[in-house]
Amino acid sequence: MSKIGTTFNTISDFVKERFPADKLNYHSMVEKKEVPVHHMSWGYYTGGLTMFFFMMQVLTGLFLLFYYQPTVSDAHVSVEYINKYVAGGALVRNMHAWSSSCMIFFAMLHLLTAFAMKSFVRPRELTWIAGVILLFITFTFGFTGYLLPWNQIAVNATKVGLQSVEYVGQYLPGQLADVPRILRETFQGESSVGQSTLGRFYALHVVILPLALAGLLGLHLLQVQLHGMSQGVDQAAKRSEKFMSIFVFKDLTLWATVFLILFVLALCVPFESFLPFPLLAPFNALGSTPAGIKPEWYFYFVYYPLELLPFWVILVASMVVVGILIFTPWIFRGTSRRTLSFIALMAGAYLVIMTVFGEQIYQFFKH
Amino acid sequence: MIDILLFIVLPYLAVFICVFGSIYRIRTAPMTYSSLSSQFLESKGLMWGSLPWHLGITIILLAHVVAFLVPGFWQSLMSHQSVLLFVEAIGLGLSVLCVLGLIVLGVRRLTSSKLQAVTSTMDLVVILLLLLQVGLGAAVAVHCKWGSSWCSGTTTPYIWSLITFAPDISHIADLPVLVKSHIVGAWLFLLVIPFSRLIHMFAVPIEYLVRPPQNVVWTNSRKWASEENVFADDETRRHFVRAFLGITFGGFLLGVGTFRNIFLFFFGPRLSRKEETELMELRLARLESTMDQRKLELERQAANYILVCKFSELNAETGKYFIDYQMQPAIAFKGKDGLPLLISAKCTHLGCTVGNDVDGEGRILCPCHVSYFNIETGQPNAEAPAKAPLPHIGWVIMDERGKVLARRNTDGRTEGTIAAEQQETARVYIAKGQEERA
């Protein structure tokens, strides 16, 4: 009995510390909040930028929703229609594409800086975990959205992606070996990537994922406002500035600048200009797969190793990384920010190198 | 006659008196070269009157000046429908702002006892004249729409004829009385400048926007206590002016560019007949290909045999794609034994569709992760990411009457042969139950 009582007390203490009721008011969450000023301060803007890009995604996504049709016969035509005929359609679609990449870039940067600044320690564990899940949701957004234009690269990359899930089955014992296949079929909906897959991905992309992301983002932001900014550097910062309204206005100024850049970028450089045409042609179920099927750049860091190394190595490595990410608040509790910065820098270097030079590394080892 | 008086004599007289009168006044009474400030006496009404009035009239007057001085540039701007729309709309909005400001200023002059002491008759005349002139301007904007465009053929050449001393009133002779009154009002307005507080407009207080705030306050103890508030109010007003200018300008840009396009986005495109036809054809073609796909599925559920192709169409170098019983792609070749060779085209690695061109070593390539499959054995090359072989598929050859000539079963056994004379008419099928990999 007493043991149950102790467990209960532990849980309730945990919750009380993460959701301090006395701080649940405008005064302590907004008016009193201060943002430390130090050499890592720029890291405080990365989260806001990620949210800004998410808002851009919601806005441009709603615009696209007016014309996009999620059926195998009409999807590609409707996307072409948006590009070719709808006033500002190409711009909106292009902004959606650029902004999605930016959102993922800044989400990853945000994770690395938060890690380096040790922003995950007590009482901010929930913020961190919610953030990690948000990142995974963001990746899923990218994966599901990639299919919707229903062109060659979209369908074939999705086939490869889903098939990789099934590949996991061979490492599982007995009945469990079937689970990945069942999982793939659930998402695929039919024997091959087709109308059922498109419908499912569409539902995920425009309703389920946005709702999930918005909900978690609410928790994430509530925690950030409740507990305030983390100290960020080992020696306490000498100076700090008011969150309201100094930091907020700086944030807004940055958003405005970034919006301008995004707008001009979307106006001038079509996101699809990085792909050769055959990959953008409508998917043809009866033809062969064109050469050069690749996922989006933000999956390169796992795609190229997957091409080079045995599947089980990647599987084990990614499980370890996910485990570390989720349990970071407890694993790195005692690590100094210097060491954390070093780890973050190394991880960042790996991501940059694999993304920028992945192709060359792949060619080098394959030939 | 009266036209010559109003539109030639009056303007020259007005400009002459305005210029020389103003110079005379600054030389004889320089201290009066301002609009005697009354903020000291009454500030609340002033704020709600003076600010809207000055914001409105400054922008409107600037627009008039630009339109008259650089007519070419102005006209090129106004030739864009959306720019014209917004100039008109903003102009009308600002004139309403001016009228409201003037009314507040007038009421303030008439009702505040402190102000009564410093209000001259000329002040009231000025307010009345301005009210009349702005009202006329607004009326012109309402009744004779698109003035910002038609001015380039009427009032602009008229003004230029005055400037170049070749007065020509034919440009404005046929304008409505409303417009003519507005023009006369403008000359009268010039005329009274040297005799009234209006002279202050020659001292444009541009540095007000950037200089540190100054404030005139009563020096009693009560005011001292609220000094901070007074300065805060002053700062607020300054921010308000800047923000208003910024928002007007930004709003103009937004209005011309973004909102119009956002509206058009939702309004949807209006296609030409040709574009509409092309689009319809494209949609139909896509629907048909989806239909074909569905028919294939249905056929595979119902039929015992599915036609792959004519036997004579088979080729050893380039395979023919078909869809097998599992709705997966497969390829038909002619094998070394002269019989069909049917092989799955779904890569055993991650499910891409394998190419149908046989290379020099008798292999086909999956382009996704570069696996070469030998079509005879189905085996991938040693370095390939694919490990399992591509399965072969059983087949049946029938003549045109449906008589089975030869078949290859799942176990790879071949029965029957095909005679040379039958090769032209024979067809290759896949059979239900034989779809298991041979």
Residue B104 has pLDDT above 80, yes or no: yes
Q: Note whether B275 contacts A85, CB cutoff 8 Å.
A: yes
Q: What is the pLDDT of residue B438?
A: 41
- Which chain B residue is nearest to residue A72, measuring alpha carbons? B290
Between the ranges B76-85, B104-113, B195-204, B272-281, where is the mean pLDDT highest? B272-281
Q: Does residue B406 carry a pLDDT above 50?
A: yes
Question: Under an 8 Å CB criterion, which residues of B touch A?
Answer: 261-262, 264-269, 271, 275, 279, 282-283, 286-287, 289-290, 293, 321, 323, 326-329, 345, 349-356, 366-370, 385
Give the three-state DSSP class for A71. Answer: coil
Distance from CA of B234 to the nearest CA of A (A): 20
Q: For B288, which residue in chain A has the nearest alpha carbon? A: A73
At residue B160, φ and ψ (nearest 5 deg) are -65, -35
Chain B partners within 8 Å of A86 (Cβ): 265, 268-269
More confident residue, B277 or B121: B277
Q: How far apart are CA B237 and CA B240, in angstroms?
A: 5
Chain A CB contacts of B321 below 8 Å: 286-288
Which positions in chain A touch B353 (Cβ < 8 Å)? 156, 287-289
First to last CA, chain A: 66
Given A81, A191, A289, which is nearest B326 (Cβ)?
A191
Contacts of A87 in chain B (CB under 8 A): 261, 264-265, 267, 269
Measured in whole angstroms, the distance separating CA A189 from the mean position of its chain's CA atoms is 25
Q: Do B262 and A85 touch (CB under 8 A)?
A: no
The SS3 assignment for A265 reads helix
d(CA A192, CA A74): 18
The confidence score (pLDDT) of residue B118 equals 79
Contacts A163 to B, Cβ<8 Å = 349-351
Measured from the Cβ of residue B250, the count of other Cβ atoms closer than 10 Å reads 11
Distance from CA of B353 to the nearest CA of A (A): 5
Chain A's closest residue to B383, CA to CA, is A366
Q: What is the pLDDT of residue B223?
A: 62
For residue B218, the model assigns a pLDDT of 63
List residues of chain A with CB under 8 Å from any CB of chain B: 63, 66, 71-74, 76-77, 80-81, 85-89, 92, 156, 159-160, 163-164, 167, 191-192, 282, 285-293, 307, 366
Q: Output the tens digit of pLDDT for each of chain A's 367 residues.
A: 577 888 899 999 999 899 988 888 889 888 888 899 998 899 999 999 999 999 999 999 999 999 999 999 999 999 999 999 998 899 999 999 999 999 999 999 999 999 999 999 988 999 999 999 999 999 999 999 999 999 999 998 998 889 888 888 888 888 888 899 899 989 998 878 889 999 999 999 999 999 999 999 999 999 999 998 988 888 888 888 988 878 998 999 999 999 999 999 999 999 988 888 778 888 887 777 787 788 889 999 998 998 888 888 999 999 999 999 999 999 999 899 999 999 999 999 999 999 999 989 988 887 6
A159 to B266: CB separation less than 8 angstroms, yes or no: no
Q: What is the pLDDT of residue B227?
A: 62
Q: Report which DSSP code applies to A335.
A: -
DSSP alpha helices (H): ranges in A19-119? 26, 44-65, 75-84, 89-116
Q: Which of B261, B271, B349 sits opposite A87 (nearest CB)?
A: B261
Whole-angstrom distance, CA of residue B373 vs CA of residue B385:
11
Which residues fall within 8 angstroms of residue A287, CB to CB, at 6 or more apart?
B321, B353
Instruction: Indicate which of B321, B326, B353 best probes the interface with A, i.e. most A CBs within 10 Å of its own CB.
Output: B353
Give the nearest chain B residue to A155 (CA atoms): B352
Residue B410 has pLDDT above 80, yes or no: no
Flag if A287 and B279 touch (Cβ within 8 Å): no
| B60 CB-near residues (< 8 Å, 6+ apart) | B91, B94, B95, B98, B137
- Give the 3-state DSSP-derived string for chain B, with helices as H, strands as E and coil as C: CHHHHHHHHHHHHHHHHHHHHHHHHHHHCHHHCCCCCCCCCCCHHHHHHHHHHHHHHHHHHHHHHHHHHCHHHHHHHHCCHHHHHHHHHHHHHHHHHHHHHHHHHHHHHHHCHHHHCCCCHHHHHHHHHHHHHHHHHHHHHHHCCCHHHHHHHCHHHHHHHHHCCCCCHHHCCCCCHHHHHHHHHHHHHHHHHHHCHHHHHHCCCHHHHCCCCCCCCCCCHHHHHCHHHHHHHHHHHHHHHHHHHHHHHHHHHHHHHHHHHHHHHHHCCCCCHHHHHHHHHHHHHHHHHHHHHHHHHHHHHHCCEEEEEEHHHCCCCECEEEECCCCCEEEEEECCCCCEEEEECECCCCCCECCCECCCCCEEEECCCCEEEECCCCCECCCCCCCCCCCEECEEEECCCCCEEEEECCCCCEEECCCHHHCCCCEEEEECCCCCCC
- For residue A104, the SS3 value is helix
Distance from CA of B59 to the nearest CA of A (A): 27
User: Which CA distances in Å does B214 have to B120, B151, B232?
Assistant: 27, 42, 11
Mutate to test the interface with B, among A150, A245, A286, A362 (most CBs of B within 10 A): A286
CB-nearest partner of A74 from B269, B286, B350: B286
Cβ distance of A287 and B266 shorter than 8 Å: no
Q: Which chain A residue shows the shortest CA-CA distance from B285?
A: A73
ipTM of the complex: 0.80
> Which range (A87-101, B38-52, B309-323) has the least confidence?
B38-52
Q: Name the residue facing B351 among A81, A160, A286 (closest C-beta).
A: A160
Q: Tell me which chain B residue has its CA closest to the CA of residue A291.
A: B367
pLDDT of B114 over the 90 cut = no
What pLDDT, on a 0 to 100 scale, did the predictor assign at position B435? Answer: 60
Question: Mean of the pLDDT values across residues B252-263?
Answer: 78
What is the distance between the alpha carbons of residues A296 and A89, in angstroms, rounded to a whole number?
22
Chain A residues touching residue B283 (CB < 8 angstroms): 73-74, 77
Task: Enumerate the residues of chain B whose CB falls inside 8 A of the CB of residue A366.
Answer: 370
What percentage of residues in chain B have a pLDDT greater than 90? 22
CA distance A28 to chain B (A): 26
Mutate to test the interface with B, among A264, A288, A307 (most CBs of B within 10 A): A288
Which pLDDT belongs to residue B230?
A: 61
For testing contact with chain B, the best of A85, A92, A289 (most B CBs within 10 A): A289
The reported pLDDT for the residue numbered B394 is: 87
Chain B: closest CA distance from residue A323 (Å): 26
Contacts of B390 in chain A (CB under 8 A): none
Contacts of B293 in chain A (CB under 8 A): 72, 285
Q: Do B262 and A88 touch (CB under 8 A)?
A: yes
- Give the confidence band of B64 by pLDDT, cuts at 50, 70, 90: very high
Give me the pLDDT at residue A133, please: 97
Element (H, E) at A35: strand A34-37
Report whether pLDDT(B228) > 70. Answer: no
Of B265, B323, B354, the CB nearest to A87: B265
Q: B359-394 pLDDT, tens per residue?
A: 888 899 988 888 899 988 888 988 888 888 888 888
Q: How far apart are CA A241 and CA A245, in angstroms?
A: 9
Residue B216 pLDDT level (bands cut at 50, 70, 90): low
- Read off the pLDDT of residues B194-209 as tens digits, 9 standing for 90 and up: 888 888 887 776 776 6
Nearest beta carbon to residue B352 from set A74, A85, A293: A293
Q: What is the DSSP string of A115-183?
A: HHTTTTSTT-HHHHHHHHHHHHHHHHHHHHHHHTT-BHHHHHHHHHHHHHHHHGGGGS-GGGGGHHHHH
Tokens representing residue B23 in the block? 């110079």
Determine if the pTM surpasses 0.90.
no
Which residue among A74, A89, A285 sits closest to B283, beta carbon to beta carbon? A74
Token pair 């103003």 is found at B22
Q: Please name the residues in contact with A51: beta carbons below 8 A apart, sequence gap of 6 or more.
A: A217, A221
pLDDT(B214) > 70: no
Cβ–Cβ below 8 Å for B282 and A77: yes
Chain pair A-B, CB pairs under 8 angstroms: 92
